[in-house]
DNA sequence: CGTCTTCTTGAGCCACTTCAAGGTAAGTGG
DNA sequence: CCACTTACCTTGAAGTGGCTCAAGAAGACG
């Protein structure tokens, strides 16, 4: 099993054993269902669990004092999240759509890592993948609107690809908060892409890539 | 020993054993001197070593195809850098000023981590600290120019504080590339802060904080 | 069918960028 | 020690990309 990580225009694969974290019998936990927009954990709460998306999707975010929201990441089926360095969560997570999520006690995981090298490696791999993701995100935030959306569409196409049709679980507001733009700019830029046949807006949350090269060019 | 990490307005301490990574006899490596602007490693190179700043300072950055540069982090004495998940560096590092840096073979470190839980924990702590740093950086990039500079000054004040006088090793261009602004906006904003006595510009790279509360207010 | 949410589109505005010029500091060679 | 060079920093004026404000369209759902 491999974990895919975006590196600018190229795509690198690191042999990550993240799934192993949840493969060991002792690390199996219950699957929990979350409703649309339900909070999974909030900023400031004790980080008691580690999570894995089975179905649905999740947004991880932070809120500034004046209400601005920065979405740090989206998690799709197969992704692990909630691994944080400190004892408390500094980010919040919510289900974007109705989701099934496996939870594992963090303490158990860390204790197992002390004696099981595989689990320790897995923990490091998860954290490292998260770091890479965050660094790519920071790189995205210095680009202009078109470039940000191109990067976003390509990222999503890689992650939820179904025969060329990209199905977005999140709203325009979620996309805007992820890309550091306003909802209007997101909408306008997608319309521009559609106007020049770079993409096709089948539905507001369903995109077909018509000209991947044009998007890649924008993705520096 | 503890590692300090910025979390918006509050400051959290995690019991990180990063120094342990370099405390073990077997992990000691040679100290190397780098000249101003000398490359320590470049994007695409094999990640053979892990580094620790003894004196001087370092910038870690990525370059987009059109030449835009994003500085991901600055490293000061005591900071460890170069720990990357993959086998190749995806970022580049250069000495900002003449610097002394200890280097340790990555392979040795990873091998030691297999049997020494302390070292494994240290590796995880370094990576996690880097993740936190990167996430805070991403949060910074959605703010306006004043807020970004306030955050930057406070971060530097915490890291290189010498009796209220903050000595910046990096140029305005470095600051601009770190904050996702232009050099002119950085200069103008600092002048604004000085005009309203929030800071004092003793020299272009020497700042005295006159009104920390005003900066904290801007730092959400 | 009506209500609520989400998305799109338009017009004007503003924060930051771009372009341009001048100032300051440090180093160098005569 | 001083002219000269070079790198770096500051400030001004004009331009612009994305934001704000506003209104309407398209879905989703009971």
Per-residue pLDDT of B133-151, as tens digits, reads 999 999 999 999 999 999 9
- E-assigned strand segments in A42-171: 49-55, 58-63, 69-75, 80-81, 92-95, 99-105, 161-162, 165-167
CB of A181 within 7 Å of some strand C atom: no
pTM: 0.91
> Which residues are registered as beta bridge partners of B162?
B165
- The strands making up B80-81's β-sheet, listed across from edge to edge, are B31-34, B99-105, B49-55, B80-81
Among the residues of chain B, which ranges form H helices? 18-23, 106-115, 117-140, 145-160, 172-179, 183-195, 212-218
Whether A212 has a pLDDT exceeding 80, the answer reads yes
pLDDT-derived band at B18 (thresholds 50, 70, 90) equals: low
Per-residue pLDDT of B156-206, as tens digits, reads 999 987 777 999 999 999 999 999 999 999 999 999 999 999 999 999 999
Closest CA to B191 of B161, B149, B154, B152: B149
Give me the pLDDT at residue A22, please: 74
Give me the pLDDT at residue A28, please: 79
Distance (Å) of CA B77 to CA A188, B84, B101: 46, 19, 9
Whether A3 has a pLDDT exceeding 50, the answer reads no
Q: Which nucleotide is nearest to B204 if distance is taken from CA to C1'?
A: D9
Strand D contacts (Cβ < 7 A) comprise A 144-146, 180-182, 184-185, 203-204; B 171-173, 183-184, 186-188, 190-191, 201, 204-205
Scanning B118-147 for CB atoms below 8 A from A yields 120, 123-125, 127-132, 134-135, 137-139, 141-143
Q: Compute the distance between CA of residue B101 and CA of residue B98 in angstroms, rounded to an integer.
A: 10
Residues B131, A85 contacting (CB under 8 angstroms):
yes
* DSSP run (H or E) holding B95: strand B92-95
Per-residue pLDDT of A100-136, as tens digits, reads 999 999 999 889 988 888 889 999 999 999 999 999 9
Per-residue pLDDT of B28-84, as tens digits, reads 789 999 999 999 999 999 999 999 999 999 999 999 999 999 999 999 999 999 998
Write the DSSP symbol of residue A46.
B
Q: Across the interface, which of B12, B72, B141 has its CB nearest the CB of A86?
A: B12
Q: Across the interface, which of B8, B86, B114 has its CB nearest the CB of A117?
A: B114
């Amino acid at each position: 099993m491999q974990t895919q990580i975006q590196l600018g225009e190229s795509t690198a694969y690191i042999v990550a054993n993240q799934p192993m974290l949840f493969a060991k019998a002792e690390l199996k936990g219950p699957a929990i269902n979350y409703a649309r927009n339900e909070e999974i954990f909030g900023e400031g709460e004790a980080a008691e669990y580690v999570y894995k998306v089975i179905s649905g999707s999740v947004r991880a975010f932070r809120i500034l004092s004046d209400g601005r929201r920065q979405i740090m990441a989206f998690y799709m089926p197969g992704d692990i999240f909630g691994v944080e360095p400190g004892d408390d969560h500094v980010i919040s997570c919510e289900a974007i759509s109705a989701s099934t999520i496996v939870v594992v006690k963090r303490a158990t995981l860390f204790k197992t890592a002390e004696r099981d090298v595989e689990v320790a490696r897995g923990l490091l791999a998860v954290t490292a993948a998260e770091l890479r993701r965050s660094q790519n995100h920071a790189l995205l935030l210095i680009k202009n609107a078109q470039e940000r959306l191109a990067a976003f569409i390509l990222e999503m196409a890689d992650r939820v690809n179904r025969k060329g049709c990209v199905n977005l679980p999140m709203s325009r507001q979620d996309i805007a908060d992820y890309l550091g733009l306003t909802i209007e700019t997101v909408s306008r830029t997608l319309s521009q892409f559609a106007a020049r046949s770079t993409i096709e807006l089948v539905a507001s949350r369903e995109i077909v890539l018509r000209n991947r090269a044009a998007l890649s060019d924008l993705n520096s």
